[in-house]
Structure 1
Amino acid sequence: MIEATSLSSPSERPLIVRLRNFVGDTVLSLPALRLLAQHGYRLELVGKGWARGLLEAEGWSVHVRPAKLSDRVAQLRELRQRLKAQDPGFDRRANMLLLPYAFSAALDARLAGLQAEGHAGDGRTWLMRRGHPRRAGRHTLVEYWELACDFLGIQAEPPADIGMTVTQAQRDAAQALLKPQGILPGRFVLICPFANGQVEFLDRSWPAFPEFVQRLHAAGRQVVIVPGPAEVEGAQLLYPQVERLEGISLGVYNALLQLAGVVVSNDTGPAHMAAGVGARLLSVLGPTDPRRWAPWGSTVTLLRRDEGGWCSVDEVMATVDAALSPALRA
């Protein structure tokens, strides 16, 4: 068991952490990452290019992971050598934590000479310094949290809210996007209607989203959408009446979510971002298992029928009206 009193300062204990490849998972891993930092580790994160914008306000180093195996290994080797120069004990302890479950994540670390830990399974445990149990029936955030606890040798309860950081500069940039359109902070509906395809053979897109947005428009609501690069055409075709903010970094997107009066979302990465920054979120779920994938936090309202059925437009409209009423009276 690692005691907190035995840990050196963060500058003396660098730790490489391989992030997951999905926005939602990365948001859900934030409490685990903070726990590691609180126990004396200086985090060197390796992930997708968007992770830099998403985590910009957290202050951690983010290294963009290359696509080719040889380049990934070269990157990790270079990072290992640099961190060894900073910390002579780097190679004598576990020095990388793997959040992905994949065999390839462990292989990359092993080929780079790193002593990685992560969840056991997928035939990869022999590649790591130590494999930890992946316990059944856990929410995804709790899985990452427990992995960090196992790595540290402690027991602790995860936080009730993620508390994702948003900087004043990001809020200023978000307000600068809204002001020319006459959109008032706290009074608009931000919609996240795309779910980036199917996961585990489940269609996660609420079929009534276009009808719902038409109802919002008819009711005179200010509605905003922030489409990703692959979603711009769909946003133009399906939601022509909505204010589109395109080409937005994920850090500024976090601020826009926080400034919304209410966010209405499918099971998708921005839903977890909204919950992460403490936005008022209405999470419309169908076949998604909320015990594992529901957005995490005290500002989240789940809208889901029993047995994975979708809520009606009337039900979601009523919840939006209730959420916005206090702001409109102010």
Structure 2
Amino acid sequence: MAAPVLLALRALNLGDLLTVVPALRALRRHHPDHRIVLATAGVLAPLAALTGAVDEVLPTPAPDALACTEPVDVAVNLHGAGPRSHQALDAVAPRRRIGLGRPESGWPGPPAAELDHLHERVRWCAMLSAHGIAADPDDLRLPPPAAPDDLRLSPPTGASPGSAQPVVVHPGAAFGSKCWPADRFAALARRLAPLGPVVVTGGPAERSLAGRVAAEAGLPDDRVLAGRTSISELAALVAGAGLVVSGDTGVAHLAAAFGRPSVVLFGPVGPERWGPPEGPHRALTHPEVRRGDPFADDPDPALLAVGVDEVEAACLAVTARNGCVTGVVSGTTAS
């Protein structure tokens, strides 16, 4: 007899998937006899497998594209509060529905407004808890995948012994509001060279941006990895990194998932909702000047107020052997 199906919907991006790893593991523990199918972007399948909580990925770029043709016992909405995501799961006619409450459509659960103030990881664990499913928001770590040979880098000339771990600089983000200026990333990359081989990552559309950062930093062309790595290769690179520096984007969540030292620059949205967990991580922002429009084409003032000196100091702090620090830096003071 085939195992009953639990269908979980999270048809979003890299960072969005990583924030629901604790929720997926909670569902795995609570439904050990179910086959867990995750409806998400197909490119994320290798990371879904690393969670140990997903049996199958159903490629789904958006809720409207959900195409499940088999009977579903339990449907779990980890995507949002609806109506599109709720309607997409209603269409598969599950026996039980788990998600944020939407009384007008018959969905049980806590109202979204009650949980919106929580960190994204905590939010979905709290939703499951309201349905009687115990979840630990700190259960987010992933096992490191094996690194391909062509991603193993030699330390730069003059680097200290044992510094072959790459320094990952990721200048891109989904929206301009979250993009720290390229010339600042370049200046930072030059300063970080003694820590290890600096590489510049990004998606195919960010190849030009990455090339500009590398050129201004004096890095060779082979250090530009934007558009050259699969999701598995990017994960392996981050898992073996000595440091990751990025804006508020998916690579920051990869660093948290693998416990690698990271510095994350926040602009329109503060780290209270999407920031890194406790560990060798530092979030930098200036909320006193925040504009708060996450879809703006230009960098948020809270991001522009973060200077290169601040970021360099945070990078040195999180990579110090005996001085890892965690927290949010506002203005020019650090805790």
Cα separation, partners in 2 of 1:210 and 1:56, compared to 1, 3 Å: farther
- Aligned partner of 1:250 among 207, 231, 250: 231
In 2: Cα distance, 1:318 partner to 1:196 partner: 26
1:4 aligns with: none
2:129 aligns with: 149
Q: Return the structure number with greater helix share.
A: 1
In 1: Cα distance, 2:135 partner to 2:152 partner: 41
1:52 aligns with: 45
> One-letter code of the match for 1:62?
V
In 2: Cα distance, 1:48 partner to 1:147 partner: 22
In 1: Cα distance, 2:147 partner to 2:213 partner: 29
Cα separation, partners in 2 of 1:218 and 1:22, compared to 1, 3 Å: closer
Deviations along 1:186-230, one digit per CA (max 9) or x if unpaired, are: 6431012111115xxxx12223x5234234326644211221122
In 2: Cα distance, 1:218 partner to 1:210 partner: 13
In 1: Cα distance, 2:192 partner to 2:91 partner: 58
Q: Is 1:312 matched with 2:291?
A: no
Q: Is 1:43 matched with 2:21?
A: no
In 1: Cα distance, 2:188 partner to 2:272 partner: 30
Contact conserved, 1:118 with 1:128, CA < 8 A, in 2?
A: no
| TM-superposed deviation, 1:326 | 4.1
In 2: Cα distance, 1:68 partner to 1:212 partner: 35
Q: Is 1:158 matched with 2:137?
A: yes
Unaligned 5+ residue runs, structure 1?
A: 1-10, 84-89
1:24 aligns with: 15
| TM-superposed deviation, 1:264 | 0.7
Q: Is 1:171 matched with 2:146?
A: yes
Deviations along 1:164-193, one digit per CA (max 9) or x if unpaired, are: 232xxx3231x5312378797664310121
> One-letter code of the match for 2:186?
V
- Aligned partner of 1:111 among 64, 67, 91: 91
In 2: Cα distance, 1:264 partner to 1:325 partner: 15
- Aligned partner of 2:198 among 204, 208, 223: 223
- Aligned partner of 2:173 among 187, 195, 209: 195
In 2: Cα distance, 1:142 partner to 1:237 partner: 37
- Aligned partner of 1:96 among 61, 75, 89: 75
2:269 aligns with: 288
In 2: Cα distance, 1:64 partner to 1:196 partner: 21
Deviations along 1:266-311, one digit per CA (max 9) or x if unpaired, are: 0111111111111111112233222112123422211223524332
Identity across the alignment (%): 25
- Aligned partner of 2:187 among 181, 203, 214: 214
Contact conserved, 1:117 with 1:132, CA < 8 A, in 2?
A: no
Q: Tell me the matched-pair count.
A: 287
Q: Please report the TM-score for the alignment, with normalisation by the length of structure 2.
A: 0.75
> One-letter code of the match for 1:130?
P
Unaligned 5+ residue runs, structure 2?
A: 291-301, 323-335
> One-letter code of the match for 1:213?
A
1:5 aligns with: none
Contact conserved, 2:239 with 2:260, CA < 8 A, in 1?
A: yes
Cα separation, partners in 2 of 1:18 and 1:157, compared to 1, 3 Å: closer
Q: What SS is found at the alignment partner of 2:152?
A: helix
| TM-superposed deviation, 1:320 | 2.2
Cα separation, partners in 2 of 1:316 and 1:68, compared to 1, 3 Å: closer
Q: What SS is found at the alignment partner of 1:119?
A: coil
Runs of 4+ in 1 over 6 A off after TM superposition: 180-185
2:294 aligns with: none
Q: Please report the TM-score for the alignment, with normalisation by the length of structure 1.
A: 0.76
Q: What SS is found at the alignment partner of 2:57?
A: strand
> One-letter code of the match for 2:281?
V
Cα separation, partners in 2 of 1:226 and 1:68, compared to 1, 3 Å: same
1:87 aligns with: none
Deviations along 1:22-71, one digit per CA (max 9) or x if unpaired, are: 221210000011011112243110111222132232342111026695x6
Tell me the C-alpha RMSD between the 2 structures: 2.8
In 2: Cα distance, 1:261 partner to 1:149 partner: 36
